[in-house]
C-alpha cells in the first residue's frame, strides 16, 4: 500500500468520532508521511454536523499544535471540508475540499443529499416533480458551479447522490441520460487542475461497494488528463485506510499509474500507484 496519507479526516469539532491527537497517532503508526484534517466547515444550520462557528479558532489551534508536535515525523495540514452553504473563509487553511451536501429549498431551508433517503425523496417529489434525473441534474450543475467559482483544490465525493440512490432508485446509474449529466458537469473541472477525490468513505461505512466517483467518471477523468487523490473521509481512526487498497487496485485497472497526496515537504506530491 503506497498511499500513506489522507486529506479528508474529520474530528469531534464536527461529526468525527476520534479526537485529532488520537487520529494523528494512528496515522503515524500506519507509517503515514502526511495527514490533513478537514472537519466540516462552520455553517448556520445542522449544528451537530459542522464546526461550531465559535469553536473554529480552537479547531485551528489544536491542529496547528499537532502540526508542530509531529513536524519531525509526519507533516500535518490544517484543512476544512467546505460546503457551498458554509460560512467560513478558506484563507486560514492550508487547503479545502469543496463538497456539496445540501439542496437549498425556496424557503431557505436545506435538504441533505446524503442523510435520510426519505428527506431526499421528499425533495424530489416537492421540487423536482418526482423526477430523479432532474434532481441529479441540479446536483451536478451545483457541484460544477461551486468548484469553478471557489477554485477548489479538491472535488469532494463528486457523485454523493449515489449514496441514497442505492435505496431510492431515483434513476438508472447505467443510463446514458444520467451518465451524460454527470460527465458534462465534470468535463470543465478537469481544466481547473482540481484533484478529483476517490472517496472510500461510503465503502468503509457499508453504503456502497465502490468509491465515489463511479467508474465511468474515473475513466473519463483519465482521458481528460485529470489528477486524483485517494481519501477515506475518515470519521473513526479504525477506518483511516478502509477501502484504500481497493481504490488503488481500481485506479490501476483503469490505467492510472499515479495519484496525488499531501506531501511531506510540499503541499501536494505525486506518487506511483501499485508499488
Ligand atoms: Zn462530505
Ligand atoms: Zn467528509
- Answer yes or no: is 9 within a domain: no
Q: What is the whole-number distance in angstroms between the Cα of residue 40 and the centre of ligand 2?
A: 7
Q: What is the whole-number distance in angstroms between the Cα of residue 235 and the centre of ligand 1?
A: 11
Q: What is the whole-number distance in angstroms between the Cα of residue 40 and the centre of ligand 1?
A: 8
At 209-243, the pLDDT tens digits run 999 999 999 999 999 999 999 999 999 999 999 99
What is the longest distance spanned by two Cα atoms in the chain?
Answer: 56
- Answer yes or no: is 15 within a domain: no
pLDDT recorded at residue 123: 97
Residue 23 and residue 62 in contact, taking contact as beta carbons nearer than 8 Å: no
- Answer yes or no: is 2 within a domain: no
- For the chain, what is the domain count? 1
At 204-215, the pLDDT tens digits run 888 889 999 999
At 129-141, the pLDDT tens digits run 999 999 999 999 9
Per the listing, cell 456539496 goes with 100
Q: What is the whole-number distance in angstroms between the Cα of residue 6 and the centre of ligand 2?
A: 11
- Cα-Cα end-to-end distance for the chain: 7
- Answer yes or no: is 91 within a domain: yes
Q: What is the whole-number distance in angstroms between the Cα of residue 228 and the centre of ligand 1?
A: 17
Residue 222 and residue 254 in contact, taking contact as beta carbons nearer than 8 Å: yes
Q: Which ligand is nearest to the CA of 15?
A: 2
- Answer yes or no: is 11 within a domain: no
Task: For residue 212, give the nearest of 222, 223, 204, 201 by alpha carbon.
Answer: 201
Task: For residue 114, give the nearest of 164, 45, 51, 172 by alpha carbon.
Answer: 164
User: Residue 53's domain is classified under what CATH number?
Assistant: 3.20.20.140
Distance set, CA 139 to CA 49, 102, 149, 187, 260 (Å): 20, 9, 15, 15, 26
Q: What is the whole-number distance in angstroms between the Cα of residue 48 and the centre of ligand 1?
A: 14
- Answer yes or no: is 147 within a domain: yes
Whole domain around residue 74: which residue ranges?
20-272
* Global pTM value: 0.97
Residue 229 and residue 198 in contact, taking contact as beta carbons nearer than 8 Å: yes
- Answer yes or no: is 14 within a domain: no
pLDDT above 90: residue 271: yes
- Answer yes or no: is 73 within a domain: yes
What mean pLDDT, rounded, does the chain reach?
96
Amino acid at each position: 500500500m503506497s498511499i500513506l496519507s489522507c486529506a479528508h479526516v474529520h474530528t469531534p469539532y464536527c461529526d468525527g468520532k476520534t479526537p485529532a491527537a488520537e487520529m494523528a497517532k494512528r496515522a503515524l503508526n500506519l507509517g503515514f508521511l502526511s495527514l490533513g484534517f478537514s472537519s466540516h466547515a462552520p455553517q448556520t444550520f445542522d449544528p451537530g454536523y459542522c464546526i461550531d462557528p465559535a469553536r473554529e479558532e480552537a479547531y485551528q489551534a489544536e491542529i496547528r499544535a499537532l502540526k508542530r508536535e509531529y513536524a519531525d515525523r509526519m507533516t500535518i495540514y490544517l484543512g476544512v471540508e467546505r460546503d457551498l452553504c458554509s460560512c467560513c473563509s478558506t484563507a486560514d487553511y492550508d487547503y479545502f475540499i469543496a463538497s456539496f451536501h445540501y439542496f437549498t429549498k425556496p424557503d431557505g431551508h436545506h435538504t441533505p443529499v446524503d442523510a435520510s433517503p426519505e428527506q431526499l425523496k421528499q425533495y424530489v417529489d416537492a421540487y423536482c416533480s418526482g423526477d430523479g434525473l432532474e434532481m441529479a441534474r441540479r446536483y451536478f450543475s451545483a457541484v460544477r458551479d461551486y468548484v469553478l467559482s471557489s477554485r477548489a483544490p479538491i472535488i469532494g465525493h463528486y457523485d454523493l447522490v449515489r449514496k441514497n440512490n442505492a435505496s431510492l432508485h431515483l434513476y438508472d446509474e447505467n443510463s446514458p441520460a444520467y451518465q451524460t449529466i454527470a460527465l458534462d458537469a465534470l468535463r470543465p473541472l478537469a481544466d481547473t487542475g482540481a484533484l478529483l477525490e476517490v472517496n472510500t468513505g461510503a465503502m468503509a461505512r457499508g453504503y456502497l461497494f465502490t468509491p465515489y466517483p463511479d467508474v465511468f467518471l474515473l475513466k473519463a477523468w483519465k482521458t481528460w488528463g485529470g489528477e486524483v487523490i485517494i481519501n477515506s473521509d475518515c470519521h473513526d481512526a479504525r477506518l483511516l485506510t478502509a477501502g484504500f487498497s481497493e481504490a488503488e487496485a481500481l485506479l490501476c485497472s483503469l490505467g492510472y499509474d499515479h495519484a496525488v497526496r499531501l506531501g511531506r515537504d510540499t503541499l501536494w506530491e505525486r506518487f506511483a500507484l501499485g508499488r
